[in-house]
Amino acid sequence: MLHNVVAVALDGVHPFELGVVSEVFGLDRSDEGLPVYDFAVASAEGPVLSTHAGYSITTSHGLERLEEADLITVPAGDSYVTREFPPELLDALRRATDRGTRVLSVCTGAFVLAAAGLLDGRRCAVHWRHAEELMRRHPRAIVEPDVLYVDEDPVITSAGTAAGIDACLHLVRRENGMEVANAIARRMIVPPHRDGGQAQYIERPLPRTRCDTVGEVLAWMERHLDQELAVDQLAARAHMSPRTFARRFQQETGTTPYRWLLRQRLLRAQELLEATDETVDAIAGRAGFGNAAALRHQFVRALGTTPNAYRRTFRGPGAGPEPGTGSAA
């Protein structure tokens, strides 16, 4: 269970990225019935640290605070791409992962994890501007330069600032359930979920358009996930040819209509498994999979678990006996 969370700060830490993890894990939201994390900022370089923005921050916690953490986050920092890191910090990170503690980096925080050897042989993400340098400095890391975040449990890496929010909420969703992650997202006024494989907004020869040509269709698709949705039908709603619609959809969402629909249907199924006593057959129909066997197939492929196992993980102790679930056990 995720409870004890630490953000590790070095000289030159970026206040915004530090603020991201502080916002997700450091606020008391018990008034809404949400979990309260035991959150602290720990310094690897003394009690007073400079920031990227030109002012200083202080903290009373040192690296000893990492020894009891369930999650260690490493926000981005100035010159992290080229600087050396305290050996004591790298040792502490290695010990943490050896005992099962998760570590999560935001943007150039990935260079800290790489220096500790935690990205060797692992897929990882970083801001696209720094991907080539991360590959050059740490050739054993498997850098995916155009994704939002990568979960290679117990190591989670994310790209730029907003992707750090996505990665944090992804972890909350895994540990505390979709309802908690969605509630935190609503408080932060951010989208409750963006898939980790979604593309970063990378500079291209032609500027990317804003999400203003398929936005209405996306909202309609989300309201009709239980229906058969063909590209020809969606293109007609957008008043485009199927080819133009598919191209615009990819430009504006970073993924294809099929992948977007699949992910949204999985999220709907997760939400219903957590929050209702409906059978898996009924949930499969409401989420657009048609039947329990199809839902189970996609659930195992995407999440590595079955619908029943997922429900057992996230149903509260007072939820009552699990209803019949057909063939999707």
- What's the token pair of residue 207? 């500027």
Decide: 44 and 6 in contact? Cβ < 8 Å: no
Q: How confident is the model at residue 59 (pLDDT cuts 50, 70, 90)?
A: very high
Answer whether 180's CB lies under 8 Å from 236's CB: no
> What is the average pLDDT across 136-159?
93
Average pLDDT over residues 174-178: 87
Mean pLDDT of 178-204: 69
pLDDT per position as a tens digit, 84-106? 999 999 999 999 999 999 999 99
Is 156:171 a contact under the CB 8 Å cutoff? yes
Question: What percentage of the chain reaches a pLDDT higher than 90?
Answer: 64
- pTM value surpassing 0.75: no
Other C-beta atoms within 10 Å of 64: how many? 9
Please write the tens of the pLDDT for every residue from 303-329: 778 899 888 876 644 443 344 444 444
pLDDT of residue 192: 63
Distances (CA, A) of 15 to 7, 20, 26, 152, 238: 12, 9, 14, 26, 41
pLDDT, tens only, 206-250? 333 344 678 888 889 989 999 999 999 999 999 999 999 998 888
Cβ–Cβ under 8 Å, residues 27 and 181: no
Nearest-angstrom CA–CA distance, 173 and 15:
25
Q: CA 260 → CA 107, 265, 297, distances in Å? A: 25, 9, 17
